[in-house]
Structure 1
Amino acid sequence: MKRLLSLLLVVLLVLAALAALAGLAGWQAWQWWRAPLPLAAEPLVFTVPPGATVRSAAAAAVQAGVPVDAERLYWGWRLSGDAPRIRAGSYAAERGDSPQRLLQKLVKGEEWLESVQLLEGWTFAQVRAQLAAQKHLQSTLGALSDAELMERLGRPGLSPQGRFFPDTYRYGRGLSDLALLRQAQQAMDRQLQTAWDGRDPQLPLQTPEDLLKLASIVEKETGRDADRPLVAAVFANRLRIGMRLQTDPTVIFGLGERFDGNLRKIDLLTDGPYNSYTRAGLPPTPIALPGRASLLAAARPASSKALYFVARGDGSSAFSETLSEHNRAVQRYQLSSTK
């Protein structure tokens, strides 16, 4: 009997030891599951393609440099119960992320987003170059002419100049450049419509397209927010009385690659569709991407009778109602500075 009791005691002690070991292992597993991964660098970006298995997703994370055993990560994700809900996309392991947090990102679709910036005043050629330089943006525009591109965007027959709102756009890896342009186009549509809806009833413009053209000129003429409504007023006043706009940026745009940084008198005298010194009215198309401030300024110019302005040399402009006043301002701010 004593021998039986001794044997039973040994068995109980062994079971207790195994339970303790199992508890310790479980505690260690729980700690690992919630503990930040020791990343040597961040972010570590990896892609989960459509239809990927949990195992391949774990392998992709490890291949990107996440310092964990792929098999252990796989089982951790699988045993959580959330693994079947992972979504395709690009994800990043960042400082403080645990195996559990990584899985949450994949389940919630918290993708790692790249960014690209389109700047106020850019031509479409500059927009194309910016998009082509993005490593993780799928390139589809290279073989398309401007006309073909606009047809794919649903605007056949329109120039791409000025059609895309200048802003910073975030995108997941693999998005196409055409899809991003569509986002920028829709953003410009919204901004233009808002400006048009709030326009001055006396504005000498017939369509939102006219407003876009005028805003693009304002954008190129000044980078000073306080001057934008006054610059817009000058051009609105000229349009109202049938005076030519006589603005250098339209001429420069018309010269294209022929412009070498020096606008000459012959350039102002040579007629062309964008020469606002030889032709009346607005140019055939916008000449640049106008920002929100320029759109709003063009829609509601300042209350001013000014017909002229000249740069002071400090980023601001001097505005005049008469040619004689303007000539004095030119003498003061430009000709005197060249002596």
Structure 2
Amino acid sequence: MRLFKALLIVVVIGAALSFAGFTYWQSRLTSPIAIDEPTLYEVPRGASFNAVVGDLANRDILADDWSLRLLAKVSPDSVPQLRAGEFMLKPGMSAQEAITLLGSDKVVSYPLTIPEGWTFDQMRKLLAAAPKLSQRSEQMSDAEIMAELNHPDQRPEGRFFPDTYRYHKGSSDLDILRQAHARMASELEAAWEGRDEDLPLNSAYEALIMASLIERETGADGERGEIGGVFKRRLEKGMRLQTDPTVIYGMGDDYEGNITRADLRRATPYNTYVISGLPPTPIAMPGRAALDAAVHPAEGNTLYFVAKGDGTHHFSRNLKEHNAAVRRYILNR
């Protein structure tokens, strides 16, 4: 009887110690990590679970690493396969919540905004300056980039949709270019399929060129369709488009902020004061509104417009009205 009581006492004490140990272990898993503000942590590519929890403990973010190592042994389904990348640890997270985050798809991402009306050269410079973006195209020519994107037959200007794209550390500039190219192809296809029937345009690419001219002429939402209408009517009448942005684009690095009469007479493939019809390629990246204006130009009878100096334009029906507007808004300013 005494032996039985002694064994019972041993069992009870052992159970109590086991329960206390289990409770302590659980408290280590659920206790908050030791940070006072959001902290960026990067899981290196190929790092093991034990290496990561050991590193977190060495940085004093975790109070210990044994609790998570034990969890991985006794309940391997409770710990995720860690994902390489940057993660944002937040105050108040438990050790278990932190390690769950490191195995999730909540990788820190960064925004990159490509403005409407920018050129491909400007886009390349923006990509080159983007933090934590792997630079794979830096030494490539424009033609090599298009070949890498599986479009060796295309000129790059205008082929990328201006928008905000997100990337994470380890992404490359070519990843952004692929997304923007696919997006423009989709937007252009949709615009062309829904186009007006009476356009003086022969292809979706010509619509893209037209949209780039509209984009470069105005940033005023209410004017894009009207400018598209002017360009449509001028093409129908066999008039030259005579749009200054094409002159500037054709001048390239020679442009220093002003256009002279000599510049207007300079023969370049893009100078619509010299050439008839559209230039050979887009001159910028048009947004959705400019694409819409190119395929749905506003009806009317205006053939000219001049900048008023406030971001908008004055539209005229004939040359006499236009010359009067030029004197009012340009010569007298």
TM-score by length of 2: 0.90
Shift of the alpha carbon at 1:76?
6.1
Secondary structure of the equivalent of 2:65? helix
For 2:68 and 2:50, how far apart are their aligned partners in 1? 5
For 1:6 and 1:106, how far apart are their aligned partners in 2? 50
Change (3 A) 1:108 1:232: same
1:333 aligns with 2:332: no
1:25 aligned residue: 24
Taking the TM superposition and a 5 Å limit, the aligned residue runs for 1:106-121 are 106-121=102-117
2:81 aligned residue: 86
Which of the numbers 69, 74, 98 marks the counterpart of 1:75?
69
Which of the numbers 216, 230, 234 marks the counterpart of 2:230?
234
Change (3 A) 1:66 1:223: farther
Q: Is the 8 A contact 1:86 1:103 kept in 2?
A: no
Using the TM superposition, name which of 134-143 and 213-222 deviates more: 134-143
2:314 aligned residue: 318
Show structure 1 runs of 5+ residues with no match.
Answer: none
Shift of the alpha carbon at 1:104?
2.9
1:194 aligned residue: 190
Change (3 A) 1:30 1:135: closer
Using the TM superposition, name which of 304-313 and 245-254 deviates more: 304-313
For 2:71 and 2:210, how far apart are their aligned partners in 1? 56
2:164 aligned residue: 168
Shift of the alpha carbon at 1:24?
3.8
Shift of the alpha carbon at 1:170?
1.1
Q: Is the 8 A contact 2:79 2:99 kept in 1?
A: no
Change (3 A) 1:13 1:76: closer
Shift of the alpha carbon at 1:178?
1.3
1:156 aligns with 2:155: no
> Structure 1, residues 163-189: CA drift from partner, whole Å, max 9, x if none?
100111112211221122011100000
2:119 aligned residue: 123
Aligned residues: CA RMSD: 2.5
Q: Is the 8 A contact 2:25 2:67 kept in 1?
A: no
Change (3 A) 1:87 1:203: farther
Change (3 A) 1:144 1:73: farther
For 1:92 and 1:318, how far apart are their aligned partners in 2? 52
Shift of the alpha carbon at 1:91?
3.2
Using the TM superposition, name which of 70-79 and 243-252 deviates more: 70-79
For 2:250 and 2:278, how far apart are their aligned partners in 1? 13
For 1:60 and 1:231, how far apart are their aligned partners in 2? 61
Secondary structure of the equivalent of 1:169? strand
Shift of the alpha carbon at 1:84?
6.9
For 2:143 and 2:133, how far apart are their aligned partners in 1? 21
Change (3 A) 1:327 1:74: same
For 1:260 and 1:197, how far apart are their aligned partners in 2? 39
1:278 aligned residue: 274
For 1:144 and 1:81, how far apart are their aligned partners in 2? 46
Q: Which amino acid aligns with 1:46?
A: E
For 1:315 and 1:152, how far apart are their aligned partners in 2? 39
TM-score by length of 1: 0.88
For 2:133 and 2:220, how far apart are their aligned partners in 1? 33
2:138 aligned residue: 142
Q: Is the 8 A contact 1:308 1:320 kept in 2?
A: yes
For 2:248 and 2:182, how far apart are their aligned partners in 1? 28
Change (3 A) 1:28 1:235: same
Show structure 2 runs of 5+ residues with no match.
Answer: none
Q: Which amino acid aligns with 1:292?
A: R
2:216 aligned residue: 220
Q: Is the 8 A contact 2:34 2:61 kept in 1?
A: yes
For 1:181 and 1:57, how far apart are their aligned partners in 2? 33
For 2:169 and 2:137, how far apart are their aligned partners in 1? 17
Change (3 A) 1:25 1:47: closer
Using the TM superposition, name which of 79-88 and 164-173 deviates more: 79-88
Q: Which amino acid aligns with 1:91?
A: E
2:300 aligned residue: 304
Which of the numbers 148, 170, 178 marks the counterpart of 1:182?
178
Using the TM superposition, name which of 100-109 and 259-268 deviates more: 100-109
1:52 aligned residue: 47
Q: Which amino acid aligns with 1:278?
A: V
Q: Which amino acid aligns with 1:252?
A: I
Secondary structure of the equivalent of 1:170? strand
For 1:59 and 1:135, how far apart are their aligned partners in 2? 28
For 1:13 and 1:84, how far apart are their aligned partners in 2? 32
